[in-house]
Amino acid sequence: MIQIDNITKIFGTGAESVAALDDVSVTINSNEFFTLLGPSGCGKTTLLRVIAGFIAPTGGQVSLDGEDLLSKPPYTRPVNTVFQSYALFPHLTVRQNIAFGLEMLGRPKTEVSSTVDEMLSLVQMTQMADRKTSEISGGQQQRVALARALAPRPKVLLLDEPLSALDFKLRKEMQLELKRLQSETGITFVFVTHDQAEALTMSDRIAVMSAGTIRQIGNPRDIYDHPAERFVADFIGDTNFLEAELLSIEDDMARIRLAGGAETFARTVEGESRDSGAVTIATRPEHATLAASGEGLLSGTICEVVYLGTDTHYHVDLDCGARFVVRSQNQPDQAQDRKAGEQVDVVIASGIGQVLRD
């Protein structure tokens, strides 16, 4: 659906210039929920605005369905955008807000009416149709903004952190709602967020961005379980990093020696060099468990126990000098069996960790 080739965007000139996008290339498929994920200032919103036509790139090409997009002004592109602020007309009703864009396009009244009814049903706002948007909740306003953007049936819907203003519970509900809308309409969604959980929940594929570049593209499970580099592993979820020595690679599994002398195996990144040497191992907190001294790969002392309702985080100061977090899922009426100051071992199953080179 969208082909982005070598897009660069430089703001400013000379020594004060900043490369917001640095040779970015990516293909976004038809009927895909594609997410641009990264910290503030990584270039994700700039890329979205290039697709929309609000920003002209310094270099590169963007095509949609095989047609050059950059030569078209924003209002002729088959693309609509939903922003952080929903930009609704507070003096108009929900129905009038949804109809506005269609009326500006000169659509026949019968078509406008039937399309508005369809959109109201799609976003489950039929009963609110005659309420002013100033009289409905934030979550309902977001549904109206989505309905208005979907009404002209664009080929692509761009969403610039539209959930950021909602409270936690409503944001979780709307994540599922957005995925449902994308699936039912068949429209390609390009979603921008800095929230990792949001990206993992909704996306078919995720592009992790940093400093104007794309660091990794993959489906949520690949991004989470097989990060390609340290930045991705650190940004997506909680991660433990351990220094180790790479001894050899056998059938795409690395034999490693951890600090303290224990040897085990870890997964390798595709194309990983066969050279031995110092590497970093990434391990998720839920992929490790605690055991009595002498039963695990790493030894240490629990320095902090954090109860989070669904699970408990055990922060362990390892004898090798590193800090390690173990996440344990809680059960009903479970007694707290580990305490700060207790000597423990950390158990990591062979092949669970991921070898990273900085």
Order the strands of the 213-218 sheet from edge to edge. Answer: 79-82, 156-160, 188-193, 33-37, 205-210, 213-218
Residue 140 has pLDDT above 90, yes or no: no
CATH number where 86 lies? 3.40.50.300
Residue 349 has pLDDT above 80, yes or no: yes
The pLDDT-based confidence of 270 (bands split at 50, 70, 90) is low
Buried b (16+ CB within 10 A) or exposed e, 72-91: eeeeebebbbbeeebebeee
The pLDDT-based confidence of 30 (bands split at 50, 70, 90) is very high
The count of domains in the chain is 2
Cβ distance 125 to 137 under 8 Å?
A: no
CATH number where 243 lies? 2.40.50.140
Residues of the domain holding 164: 2-230
Of 115-124, 162-171, 221-230, 235-244, which range is least confident? 162-171
Q: What is the pLDDT of residue 172?
A: 86
The reply to whether 216 and 246 lie within a common domain is no
The encoded tokens of residue 282 equal 């990434």
Q: What is the pLDDT of residue 316?
A: 95
The reply to whether 62 and 205 lie within a common domain is yes
The reply to whether 213 and 141 lie within a common domain is yes
Beta strand 33-37 pairing with 188-193: parallel
The pLDDT-based confidence of 273 (bands split at 50, 70, 90) is low
Work out the percent of the chain whose per-residue pLDDT is above 90: 52
Q: Interior CA angle at 188 toward 185 and 189, to 5°?
A: 100
Place of tokens 């049936």: 153
Q: What is the pLDDT of residue 275?
A: 65
What gap in Å lies between CA 259 and CA 39, rounded to an integer? Answer: 32
The reply to whether 171 and 49 lie within a common domain is yes
Q: Among 230, 264, 290, identify where a domain stops.
A: 230
What gap in Å lies between CA 287 and CA 352, rounded to an integer? Answer: 7
The reply to whether 51 and 195 lie within a common domain is yes
Q: What is the pLDDT of residue 264?
A: 85
What torsion, rounded to 10 degrees, do the Cα atoms 216, 279, 240, 323 define? -150
The reply to whether 250 and 337 lie within a common domain is yes
* Better-scored residue on pLDDT, 299 or 171: 299
What gap in Å lies between CA 32 and CA 219, rounded to an integer? Answer: 11
Of 139-143, 215-219, 275-279, 345-349, which range is least confident? 275-279
What gap in Å lies between CA 56 and CA 18, rounded to an integer? Answer: 15
The pLDDT-based confidence of 357 (bands split at 50, 70, 90) is low
The reply to whether 226 and 284 lie within a common domain is no
What gap in Å lies between CA 300 and CA 317, rounded to an integer? Answer: 5
What gap in Å lies between CA 188 and CA 182, rounded to an integer? Answer: 7
- Residue range 32-59, pLDDT digits in tens: 999 999 999 999 999 999 999 999 999 9
Q: Among 187, 206, 230, identify where a domain stops.
A: 230
Terminal-to-terminal C-alpha distance of the chain: 34
Cβ distance 266 to 351 under 8 Å?
A: yes
Beta partners for residue 245, in sequence order = 257, 278
Q: Among 178, 211, 230, identify where a domain stops.
A: 230
Average confidence score pLDDT of the chain? 89
DSSP 74: G
Residue 272 has pLDDT above 60, yes or no: no
The reply to whether 122 and 258 lie within a common domain is no
* Better-scored residue on pLDDT, 121 or 209: 209
